[in-house]
Structure 1
Amino acid sequence: MSRDRGRHEDGDDRERDGEDELPETITVRVRGGASITLDDDGITLDNGKGAVVRMRGPAVEVNDGALEVT
């Protein structure tokens, strides 16, 4: 199914805002433990070995507050 300007190309011509179809959280995790998480709070990159970068609103936090940029 492909999307084009808010319409589905599956025979349904009703307009959709897309919000009901989107998950609240998307996490991609690989075997070694690294992950990327996208949610309403922002984006979290975790290398699975202790390094974590969180982007929330206008702030970027590295390693649980060891460095924060706002």
Structure 2
Amino acid sequence: MPLGMDPIQKLFLDSIRQYSSQNQAAGGLVEAGPEYQKALAEEVAKLQRLYGGGDLEAFPQFTFPEPKLDEVAAK
């Protein structure tokens, strides 16, 4: 335990580490029941329909066409 850490901080960090290991072991949310999983799947499907599908966790790729500029006739 580092010198500046009080027992409450240590307990907090221990609980965070425990939750993290449970999260990795579960492969997702720790205490998510079937109701929550179903609601999550419905919301993800709704977002995919709304935003055209694809990977919702990836940043979208933007392509901007080069603007067509009309040349101004010199007078």
With the length of structure 2 as denominator, give the TM-score of the two structures.
Answer: 0.26
Per chain length, whose mean CA-contact separation is higher, i.e. which structure has more relative contact order (CA < 8 Å, sep 6+)? Answer: 1
The structure whose Rg is larger is: 2
With the length of structure 1 as denominator, give the TM-score of the two structures.
Answer: 0.27
Q: Which has the higher strand share?
A: 1
